[in-house]
Structure 1
């Protein structure tokens, strides 16, 4: 028996050596662009439509792409009148020490110096200055600890479900010289999915488009005209005047740490269409880690601009054939016209216009059992939505988080007043005799059937 068992195991092991082992599909098989990165995404910026994605929902390190949230909260505070551009700030001991740490991206700040919000913001947005970012956190929230709470609260508000912020810079907490925000771990780092990074970029450039005025500055001198003057070159080397310049790029934020790898959130506009792209932990040949993110971003932008455009699929006040009105009870009119309250635009692949079809989805709470509205009805009352359905073979990648795209409200085209008691009474009487007449007619038909 032992010899038979040994023979069986020998056969199994021998054939096992030649039996193919199932392995995960390669990146090239799953990814039509062959993007060499842990995750990547491309989004059309006006609608939030995802037009390309690779591993878009896994939470990964984001490094200095974090600073987009710091920028968002600062610009929000300025819009709300809580902070002003010319407001001055004297560095705390924490900010001073971090700003002297030149192996990190920084502009050194004097302990007794005075800096206004705009120059700190520019140092952060152009040069990714970490001390300046913490200074902004303290300006907005008093302490970086308070600011981190604001960051996480804003992430939830924007629908960024995978986001976890532990500091305002994107550094690993170990680089903060033991002064990292309270309640966070010494080895922690900010985390987010590619979809959430794109979500943040989407809200940043749509709510505060002025960010692009600063993010697109190729170089500037910090504290120009003083002995502390420092040349700041933008880390976004894809700006048109820099070494990896790409037509239309005007933002947004690079990031690199050992944990996060080479990462970049870009935005570019061509022919009236703006694209947001994100690459996380980009890889490539050569020892210069910084360039991989630009090479992979170029592939994504080329694909987006070559294959997609924003099209109006359905015009404003569109009426779906066969569903142009709804019946009305207790109204002066017995029906009301309905249409969309705007046009439906979407980023679509060229040549696929005919693969999208509309469907109405009604708000059942507004309709009675017979599917009618009850008067009075105001003009512009939302009665449901027009939903755009994709019938192509490709995968519909949806939208950035928190954006329910591909639909628009369907509203009433006119007002319908409630009929007075006399009209309603006469209708009731007419209905009563109508029912009697229908009964007689049916009975007579029954005699001759």
Structure 2
């Protein structure tokens, strides 16, 4: 009778243990699922602007329409041309029939240009950066390259140079070519539009911020008068209404570029800075709960991404000079010592969610198979630090991750020929027995 009771108790305890283990497995999975960001968009990404670390990605490698986010490439090429002395901010543009006719199209974002007018690069740039003025962008393209066709080639070439492999530019503005009144760049389709992935838009945004941070001085202006004091003046209100004091304001927001077409939907490449941390968020074809695209939808999606990103904080996973437990040294072949001590060269820092700091871990990834052949120099790179997140996936970056080298902390000289010969003889004798 007692045996039956004991068996019954043991069986009950077994059931309880299985249930507890099941809960331990299911609960973290549920928590992870609940942490997914409610981004209603065809694609989205948020990254740390300094390192390019991806904090969240959603279909971010899908190639989609980018609309006026294209103008970030036009801005990059303008700043580069200014830097190289090819054009100046005071240089005047003589309006062409092409730019004039586009500027009169009230369906588009534009500042009106006079057919016989002269406009400085500074004026056209402000109209492009603040008001997404399409004819002004064409004027900049024609000034830099002579024709928009040549400028589009520059845009595609620069994309490759920046490491963007999926960009396809057909015009300088991001409009569908069908809006260009039959004057779209030669060699492009009459209904084509610029395309790129969200990840690549983030790469372009980061490059613009890294190389020409002064873009933000203009991008953060809520409104400005074009040609103020003249009969052509027009009030330019920034399309980025997440700027402070505007309808969808967001703390720290200071750029960068919206985009809207039927093909691309409501898209946005935004950037904000808080407490020394700058983030880049990209949303493409954002919609609301009913599946309708709108300005609000794209800013709601951007807000969700930035809120998620600012919940991360920078941590130091390894200090400079720190060693991997159990891997403090590597075997050396043909050296005066049989081992060489190794350690991390620089601190390993990254952004992690506040609630998951302990879940991130590091691994040693050797650059060559051990043993290492002597001579081994102090400071010689022998590997890199691999960082894994809470789900054991390697932390991802937009492009190359920042170097976190593991180096030899001492020099191990190569043994002389006599010592090597004696060692070989000893090893041979040991092998016999």
**1:63 deviation in Å?**
0.8
Corresponding residue of 1:89:
93
Cα distance, 1:76 vs structure 2: 2.2
The answer to whether the Cα contact below 8 Å between 1:277 and 1:301 also exists between their aligned partners in 2 is yes
In structure 2, relative to structure 1, the CA distance for the partners of 1:120 and 1:428 (3 Å cut) is same
SS state at 1:239 partner? coil
2:258 to 254, 260, 269: 254
Over aligned residue pairs, what C-alpha RMSD do you find?
3.0
Change (3 A) 1:214 1:438: closer
Q: Does 1:291 align with 2:296?
A: yes
Q: Show the counterpart of 2:230.
A: 226
Residue in structure 2 matching 1:138, options 129, 134, 142: 142
- The runs of 5 or more residues in structure 2 that have no matched partner are 1-32
* 1:374 partner SS: coil
CA 1:67–1:329: 2 relative to 1, 3 Å: same
User: Are 1:428 and 2:417 an aligned pair?
Assistant: yes
Deviation at 1:413, TM superposition (A): 4.7
Q: Deviations over 1:106-163 (max 9, x none)?
A: 1112222222222211110111010111111122222111111111122223332322
* Alpha carbons 2:387, 2:395 under 8 Å: kept: no
2:234 maps to 1:236: no
Evaluate the alpha carbon distance shift between residue 264 and residue 178 of structure 1 in structure 2; reply closer, same or farther with a 3 A threshold: same
For 2:228 and 2:395, the matched residues in 1 are separated by 47
Q: Which residue of 2 aligns with 1:386?
A: 385
Name the CA shift for 1:111/1:363 in 2 (closer, same or farther; >3 Å).
same
| Structure 2 contact 334–373 (Cα < 8 Å) conserved | no
| CA distance in 2 between partners of 1:303 and 1:439 (Å) | 62
- 1:372 aligns to 2:377 (yes or no): no
2:401 corresponds in structure 1 to: 405
CA offsets, 1:367-400, max 9 Å, x none?
7x7423436x4x644333222223x238667222
Give the TM-score normalised by the residue count of structure 1: 0.80
Q: What is the TM-score of this pair, normalised by structure 2?
A: 0.82
Residue 301 (structure 1) aligns with: 306
Deviations 1:28-76 (A, max 9, x none): x899333222222211211212222222222111111111111112222
| SS class of match (2:88) | coil
Residue correspondence of structure 1 range 255-270 to structure 2 within 5 A: 255-270=259-274
8 Å CA contact retained: 2:317, 2:362 = no
- CA gap 1:283/1:441 in 2 versus in 1, 3 angstroms: closer
The aligned length equals 400
Q: CA deviation at 1:164?
A: 1.1
Correspondence list, 1:326-341, <5 A: 338-341=342-345
Relative distance call for 1:397 and 1:388 in structure 2 (3 A) is: closer
- Counterpart position of 1:5: none
**Distance in 2 between the 1:289 and 1:436 partners?**
79
Q: CA deviation digits over 1:386-442, x for unaligned, max 9?
A: 22223x238667222xx12265233445677x77xxxx6xx4334545666788899
Partner residue, 1:38: 42
Separation (CA, whole Å) in 2 of partners of 1:352 and 1:82:
50
* CA shift for structure 1 position 176: 0.7
1:204 equivalent in structure 2: 208
Give the SS at the match of 2:229.
coil
Q: 1:288 and 1:431, CA in 2 relative to 1: closer, same or farther beyond 3 A?
A: closer
1:58 to 45, 58, 62: 62
Cα 1:408–1:34, aligned 2, differ >3 Å: closer, same or farther?
A: same
Residues 346 and 406 in structure 1, CA contact (< 8 A), matched pair in contact too: no
- Contact kept, 8 Å, 1:59 with 1:162, in 2: the verdict is yes
Distance across 2 between alignment mates of 1:332 and 1:80: 54
Shift of 1:84: 2.4
Tell me how far apart the structure 1 counterparts of residues 84 and 234 of structure 2 sit (CA, whole Å).
31
Task: Work out whether residues 31 and 54 of structure 1, in 8 Å CA contact, stay in contact via their aligned partners in 2.
Answer: no
Give distance in 2, aligned partners of 1:441 and 1:96: 89
**Cα deviation, residue 337, structure 1:** 5.1
Separation in structure 2 between the aligned mates of residue 46 and residue 324 of structure 1, nearest angstrom: 31
